Amino acid sequence: DQQVKQNSPSLSVQEGRISILNCDYTNSMFDYFLWYKKYPAEGPTFLISISSIKDKNEDGRFTVFLNKSAKHLSLHIVPSQPGDSAVYFCAASAAGGTSYGKLTFGQGTILTVHP
């Protein structure tokens, strides 16, 4: 049972344009969401997060939007740069119970930004 899904395996964008990466989840207990970026042969690097009490969080070129009713979040990168080319993972966690602190990851989306 895939509780966090990234349905687009890959995305190709021109430099300077907007990149939009999408993520859907099924577990209504999830209340904290993170995006990680991963380069080849490296571990995932934390990018940005959002809690369920917000619907938007912005950090420089990166903005994450959360739609709780649709159980959907998205990551916007504006403007996209060639250095943003990487695999992006969406992850979610729940605040309570024995699963606290456990991150459930999506399958990842490969972003390629062309010069």
Partner 1 sequence: EAGVVQSPRYKIIEKKQPVAFWCNPISGHNTLYWYRQNLGQGPELLIRYENEEAVDDSQLPKDRFSAERLKGVDSTLKIQPAELGDSAVYLCASSQSRTGFGETQYFGPGTRLLVL
49 touches partner 1 by CB under 8 A = yes
Could you list the beta-strand ranges (E) of the chain.
Answer: 4-5, 10-14, 19-25, 30-38, 45-51, 56-59, 62-67, 72-77, 86-94, 104-105, 109-114
Residues 59-98 that bind partner 1 (CB under 8 A): 89, 91, 93, 95, 98
36 touches partner 1 by CB under 8 A = yes
| Cα four-point dihedral sign 8, 10, 12, 15 | positive
> Which of 99, 112, 113, 115: binder of partner 1 (CB under 8 A)?
99
Task: Please state, in angstroms and rounded to a whole number, the distance separating the CA atoms of residues 79 and 57.
Answer: 17
100 touches partner 1 by CB under 8 A = yes
* Residue 47 · residue 38 · CB < 8 Å: no
* Residue 74 · residue 86 · CB < 8 Å: no
| Cβ-based nearer residue to partner 1, 20 or 48 | 48
21 touches partner 1 by CB under 8 A = no
> Which of 86, 108, 111, 113: binder of partner 1 (CB under 8 A)?
108
State the residues that interact with partner 1 by CB under 8 A: 4, 32, 34, 36, 41-46, 49, 51, 89, 91, 93, 95, 98-103, 105-108
